[in-house]
Structure 1
Amino acid sequence: MLDTASETTLLSVRGLSVVADGPDGPRQILEGIGFDLKPRQILSVIGESGSGKTVLARTLASWIAAPLRVTAGQVLFKGRDLLADRAYARGLAGREIAYVGGNPAGALDPTMTVGAQLVEKLRAVRPDISASDAKAKAIRLLQAVRIPAAERRFHEYPFQYSGGMMQRAMIVDALISDPALLIADNITQPLDVTVAAQILKLMRELNSEFSTAILFICSSLPVACDASDEVMVLNKGRVVERQTPDRLTAAPQHAYTSALIAELPTLWQEGPQRRRPAATEKPIMSVRGVSKAYETRGKSGKALVQAVRHVDFDVFAGDNFGIVGESGCGKSSLMRLLTGLERPDGGQILFQGEDVGAASARRLRELRREFQLVLQDPYGSLPPQSPIGAILEEPLKIHRIGNRAERRDRARAVMSEVGLHPGLYESLPTGLSAGQRQRLNVARAMILEPSLLIMDETLSALDQTEQGKLLDLFERLQAQHGFTYIFISHDLTMVRQVCSRIAVMYLGEAVEVAPNDRLFFDPGHPYTRALLSAAPTLELRRYRPEDCLLEGEPPSPIDLPPGCAFASRCPQAFDRCRSQNPALLSRGGQALAACFLNPTNEATHV
């Protein structure tokens, strides 16, 4: 833990209370919040959805507006009350107090290069600095956050950055004015485990190098403990506990903290695990040598992005099949192929023996009654102006199922099944929480009674408690209806709980496919070990990050290297790896891996 006892307090919050005004009167969001933060200190704020974390972050950044309203308290920055002097507070925003959110995709102007926006931001807060000096500083910071080829990336547009690089670019945007306080609001939640681990490591390094105090808002207790000097626990808008990570996890002082710890899923130890169904011998979906490339234009002309490359696996009826990997590994591209949203360039996707890629548009619509997709974004995936009942009835109308009364009855029945009160039938989804919205998305997929549900990062936007509730729902629905699930996710703890078999993707390829226990206790690929070493957990790790954790970005899918695409990041690579690409071969026991380090048998499908 960082010793900051001798340093002057930078931020002092005293008795802060915030309400949300509504038709039924004000609703308390924060009540009596108080804490101090010193330079070079990292304080994590943890709590479930609705605890007030983001409202606290935005209040400190002077970003709250109606219907939110501060009713009491002080926010003292260097001894001066930001709540009493709003002009002073606005002058600090983006200069001495910086904010980074968890949705970097919409934070930058898509029509300007990333570098131009960084320079514009710096010169707005530092008009005395020249354009060349601002550019030099921006490139130095891009290098500091480990953006590969920073000078070239400086001239690229936001859409050319991966999710992990965008998050690092937003950290640069926040740090470029040399702020004294950085407010990081759930910046790792949407990221895969290796990129999130790099961001946390980077955050600690920048905290030390620039003497920046950091308030780290987080929904994952293991991530909060890994990131900070102290952890502050919020429950229903109140601070219930503040301790060092070691003391908090070893001897929690509040029942709410104890409950959060007890609910944590485990990767290797005995803990709260869920039923993982046994695979049958009948494939419901078979993926055979599937590839997909996308044409793109660059400075040197047209090029092909190799998004999915020769992927093979089977999903068995009644199975829970997981697909994991870093941002940019091809998971989402594969999802579009599995659901028939796009057709593969090569290979086959067989659903109950029928080739989805070769199906006519009419036949594909008929097949979609049997497989449905539930997307990641609980907000953007629902039409905000349509009532909940109309959203649920739409698939029935498209497939001409039932009359008006029958569709209404079916919609209400499905709402009850997923835990939504039927009284919400005429309500708009805008009033629902993130967890309720995902229940609505599940209900919309279920209403056609499909046999296969494909979950594309469905739980990644939810906190630990909401994830647990949705996983309970999935388990119950599977027991009642016999669904088969494909979980596409970067959350290894969730996959560990629910999936019986798992495929690991890297740069468009499936580099490992294995049963759950085999993958977590005896992985056959160095990339899998790197993912496991970076997974947030309070357990003693089986794989040490210092031995396995990856630095930098994967090679470009436009210009693939010869040999194994992982060789440039693999600590165990040797000459053969750089000239030959290993095939996905059997390791025995239904496990396959594409690595020359494994004794292999003949290639096969599992």
Structure 2
Amino acid sequence: MSLDMVRNEVLLSVRDLSVAAEGEGGALRPILDRISFDLAPRQILSVIGESGSGKTVLARTIASWLSAPLTVTGGEVLFRGRDLLADPAHARSLAGREIAYVGGNPAGALDPTMTVGAQLVEKLRAVRPEITPAEAKDKAIRLLSAVRIPAAERRFHEYPFQYSGGMMQRAMIVDALISDPALLIADNITQPLDVTVAAQILKLMRELNAEFSTAILFICSSLPVACDASDEVMVLHQGRVVERQAPAALVTRPGHGYTRALIAELPTLWQGGPEGRDERQKRDQRAIMSVNGVSKAYETRGKSGKALVQAVRDVTFDVFPGDNFGIVGESGCGKSSLMRLLTGLERPDGGTILFEGENVGAASPARLRELRRKFQLVLQDPYGSLPPQSAIGAILEEPLKIHRIGTAAERRERARAVMSEVGLPADIYESLPTGLSAGQRQRLNVARAMILEPRLLIMDETLSALDQTEQGKLLDLFERLQAQHGFTYIFISHDMTMVRQVCSRIAVMYLGETVEVAPSERLFFEPGHPYTRALLSAAPTLEPRRYRPEDCLLDGEPPSPIDLPPGCAFASRCPSVTTRCRAENPALRTRGRQALAACFLVPDPSVTSDEPMEQSDV
């Protein structure tokens, strides 16, 4: 059967679908307003729109996962011609079998008392009882490997708490794909992932779409990702479909003002950037944070006994006052482990972390508490990082109480002032955070960090859960706060577009090591390490690419941090590997203009290979 014939067979037909939220007194607030579209086998339709446009409500309605206070007020959802809204029992029988749903928040989605592999096998055999346990295991391991979970056969036997956030997201994608569904609803599945893994997930999604004639409804907050992933893009605005076009036509000839605004506000990789920050930075300043040869390993227990996971390996860099310093890399590269060391949540096994000249790793608990008044952490999860039972005002006042700062009246005044600074309305002071949007929650997290008036803010994937509109608003906020208070920022992120927009200097991590440190302009236009080029080739953008994915994207898996190979850890995936790379591990070496790279292929011709590296270069 030809592709056109397959696509003529409409699998999903949504007709005049309307959904509303029930408020006090039974009043209904419209969320979706007369949504209509068709989706055929082997077709991928992306749905794009800002937070609150109704994307996730649409996805959950089709998946029969709608719950109070949301209610369907009109329309039909026809799957193979049968209305799922009119027959809830039939809709439930399709869930997880013919219709699969995977969201972008994997936390808590799996049973913590069972291994990931056992849960995947149980899911597959529940929907396909004719498959033997051995066949189910083989398929689960094959899919875990396909979504680039390292050492898939070993990870099959691990528990959810042993997976990183990125790995958990990939495991949930496997959970959705394992039954070979006819319709896959993918709700922001790439947003929490680093760029190379996201690119591989999109590739896997297209392969599934072609091989099994799977129709895919791809809910997305990034217009470049939506265009890259799909055959057509449908734009939602305030609960209505305002436009639907093929990606190329949408970008070159947008028909609606909202679409044009989305395109206009997109940040760029190779146009603009943090101009002038490199020149303004004074290298004769004392570093506010200096990281020197820091390493950290974690003990784990496997089938063959105890082993060490080499999470952070000999990391070195300086962060100067007023700097915006970025740390980027794939999931599992050691970014979050490094964050725990920088903030004193854990102590390094080797090396030193100096904050204003004082060793954070050697500080007593009492002294570390005092130091934390000067450096604060803002986490990724806008939902799990706030206590749901505490009022917003109480959340903000808590750090002041812990450090015994001010009277009750002074703490309240300070909390209200910080709320105003980050753009939170004063009338929510006594409210719980449950009614806040993701963007508002992150503003509250920033306010909670600011209230102690720290000198350094460490942002660990703080914006990764937000859509591009909310990200832009928060970045504007960070710039304004930096101008007002002189903050220094460390941005830990997988989002190359975001770090390009705000960071003056960037460190690239791979398998626990820093493989490149460079000013933003130099790193994006003249990357010194092939891994950096791979990250740039996979970054979602509507710009013409400087680095082609087919030339740079990575094959295979990173080596296991438990069993590191000799030589360069990137050698097994590098398109330009040499014999020397497999035998020696290159150290960071200067390549001029405050840039360093750990690669034998890019020595600076103006210096000798054994020239000592100056601390000011790092």
TM category, shorter = over 0.9
The reply on whether 1:117 has 2:106 as its aligned counterpart is: no
Distance between the aligned counterparts of 1:194 and 1:137, measured in 2?
23
Measure how far apart 1:273 and its partner are.
6.4
CA distance in structure 1 between the aligned counterparts of 2:275 and 2:431, rounded to whole angstroms: 33
TM-score (norm 2): 0.95
The residue aligned with 1:70 is 72
Larger mean Cα displacement after TM superposition, 109-118 or 348-357? 109-118
1:424 equivalent among 421, 428, 436:
428
- Could you tell me which of 554, 564, 568 is aligned with 1:564? 568
- Counterpart residue type for residue 194 of structure 1: T
Query: What letter corresponds to residue 496 of structure 1 in structure 2?
Result: R
- For residues 5-404 of structure 1, the aligned pairs below 5 Å read 7-23=8-24, 25-147=27-149, 149-270=151-272, 276=277, 278-281=280-283, 282=285, 283-404=287-408
* 1:105 to partner: Cα distance: 4.0
Deviation, 1:373, is 0.7
Is contact 2:378-2:445 (8 Å) kept? yes
Whole-Å separation in 1 of the counterparts to 2:294 and 2:152? 34
What residue identity is the alignment partner of 2:353?
Answer: I
- Tell me how far apart the structure 2 counterparts of residues 293 and 144 of structure 1 sit (CA, whole Å): 27
Aligned-partner residue type, residue 487 of structure 1? F
For structure 1, which segment, 110-119 or 219-228, has the greater mean C-alpha deviation from structure 2 after superposition?
110-119
Hey, what's the Cα distance between the residues in 1 that align with 2:227 and 2:239? 20
C-alpha offsets along residues 2-31 of structure 1, whole Å, 9 cap, x if unaligned?
Answer: 756852110000000001111162111101
- Structure 1 gaps of 5+ residues are none
What is the root-mean-square deviation of aligned Cα atoms in Å?
1.7
1:78 deviates by 0.5
Give the share of equivalent positions with the same residue, in percent. Answer: 83
> SS state of the match for residue 309, structure 1?
strand
Which amino acid in 2 is paired with 1:230?
E
Rounded to whole Å, the distance in 1 between the matches of 2:166 and 2:452 is 36
CA distance in 1 between counterparts of 2:491 and 2:149 reads 30
Say which SS state the counterpart of residue 102 (structure 1) adopts.
coil
CA distance in 2, matches of 1:363, 1:157: 36
Partners of 2:99 and 2:185 within 8 A in 1: yes
Deviates more, 1:593-602 or 1:129-138: 129-138
Contact 2:39/2:45 (8 A) holds in 1: yes
Determine if contact 1:294/1:304 at 8 Å carries over to the other structure: yes
Post-superposition Cα deviations, 1:122-152, rounded to whole Å, max 9, x if no partner, equal 2212233333343344344445445555444
Alpha-carbon distance in 1 for matches of 2:464, 2:237: 21
Alignment size in residue pairs: 604
Contact 1:4 1:41 in 2 (8 A): no
What SS does the corresponding residue of 1:106 show, helix, strand or coil? coil
Paired with 1:151 and 1:426, the residues of 2 have a C-alpha distance of 50
- Distance in 1 (CA, whole Å) between partners of 2:603 and 2:237 is 51
CA distance in 1, matches of 2:162, 2:399: 35
CA distance in 2, matches of 1:499, 1:302: 40
Letter of the 2:433 partner, please give it: P
Counterpart of 1:8 in structure 2: which amino acid? E
Using the TM superposition, give the Cα deviation of residue 163 of structure 1 relative to its aligned residue in structure 2, in angstroms: 4.1
State how far apart, in whole Å, the 1-side matches of 2:345 and 2:131 are.
49
- Inter-partner Cα distance in structure 2 for 1:138 and 1:292: 31
Which residue type is aligned with residue 185 of structure 2? I
Q: Counterpart of 2:578? A: 574
User: SS of the residue aligned with 2:376?
Assistant: strand
Residues 517 and 50 of structure 1: is their aligned pair in 2 closer, same or farther, counting only changes over 3 Å?
same
Equivalent of 1:415, from 390, 412, 419? 419
Q: Which residue of 1 aligns with 2:614?
A: 604
One-letter amino acid of the structure 2 residue matched with residue 195 of structure 1: V
Q: TM-score, normalised by structure 1?
A: 0.97
Q: Is the alpha carbon distance of 1:130 and 1:344 closer, same or farther for their aligned partners in structure 2, counting shifts above 3 Å?
A: closer
User: Tell me, what secondary structure is at the counterpart of 1:588?
Assistant: coil
Shift in alpha-carbon separation, 1:161–1:447, aligned structure 2, 3 A: closer
